[in-house]
Amino acid sequence: MPVVEVSGVSHTFGEASARRTVLQDVDVRFDEQRVGIIGANGSGKSTFARLLNGLIVPTEGSVTVDGLTTARHGREIRRRVGFCFTDPDAQIVMPTVGEDVSFSLRSTDLTKEQIRIRVDDILGRFGLEGLVDHPSHLLSGGQKQLLALAAVLVTEPALVIMDEPTTLLDLRNAQMIGDVVAGLDTQVVLVTHHLDLLDRFDRVLVFDEARLVCDAPPGQAIDFYRRLMS
């Protein structure tokens, strides 16, 4: 599993009077297979998640993945660290299911035939078989999120970060995505409000008002969070 190290990180958005600190003095290091992130809206979870693959470079401190700093090696890191967003419509860039998954493989040196096999294989694993030529905008919400996830996983990343992938879904689809996530062999960092998805996680980080306020096994961390919110 990749080793992620966040050292002395603070992050601010905006300038002068509009300046806003969204992360303050965060230090954490993890290499567990399942890491959960919880916290109130606006506590800094998405910003933290985006730091891990260099989508955001911290204004202070550093983030490294397997020793590579995101500030300098963002592109290399993103090749090994996949990101799954809350809204699959923003992430699906091609008009059909198969084209979108293939898009992830466009700059590999696989042949068209090899790409087709990889695409068919991953769609099968995600219960999207037979939908290769299906227009992506006609998929259900749950299917869209599955497609977004399939398009990330087809590149075989070592770590996948997911920012509230179930927030827009109904309970059944959320559960389904949860099951898929539980079955992945890769390292996963999951930001979520669906606390039951974290049951068997190795470690859960709780954010509150820009700070990392708790770092513990799921049971303890969730109790802490519940008390914090009450």
Partner 1 sequence: MNDLGLYLPGTSWVHRLPAGVKLAALVLLGVASILIDGVVTVTAGVALMLVLYGIAGFTPRLAWRQVKPLRWILLFIVAFQWWARGWQSAVDVVGVIVLLVLAAALVTLTTRTSALVDVIIAVLRPLRPLRVQPERVGLLIALGIRAVPIAAGFSNEVRDAQRARGLGASPRAYAAPLIVKSLRHADSVGEALVARGLD
Beta strands in 43-186, from DSSP E residues, in sequence order = 60-65, 68-69, 81-84, 159-163
Residue from the set 103, 120, 213, 216 that interacts with partner 1 by CB under 8 A: 103
CA dist 47 and 23 (Å) reads 8
Identify the CA nearest to 45 among candidates 61, 56, 33.
Answer: 56
- Binding letters toward partner 1, positions 129-168, x by CB under 8 A: ----xxxxxx------------xx--x-------------
CA dist 46 and 196 (Å) reads 19
Tell me whether residue 160 or residue 177 sits nearer to partner 1 (CB atom). Answer: 160
Query: Are β-strands 203-208 and 211-216 bridged in parallel, bridged antiparallel, or unpaired?
Result: antiparallel
Please identify, among the stretches 40-48, 106-114, 126-134, 210-218, the one whose residues bind Mg ion according to the rule CB under 5 A: 40-48
- Binding letters toward Mg ion, positions 49-88, x by CB under 5 A: ----------------------------------------
User: Would you list the DSSP string of 106-134?
Assistant: TTS---HHHHHHHHHHHHHHTT-TT-TTS
* By the rule CB under 8 A, 99 interacts with partner 1: yes
Q: Which residues bind partner 1 (CB under 8 A)?
A: 53, 55, 74-75, 78-79, 82-83, 85, 87, 89-96, 99, 102-104, 107, 133-138, 151-152, 155
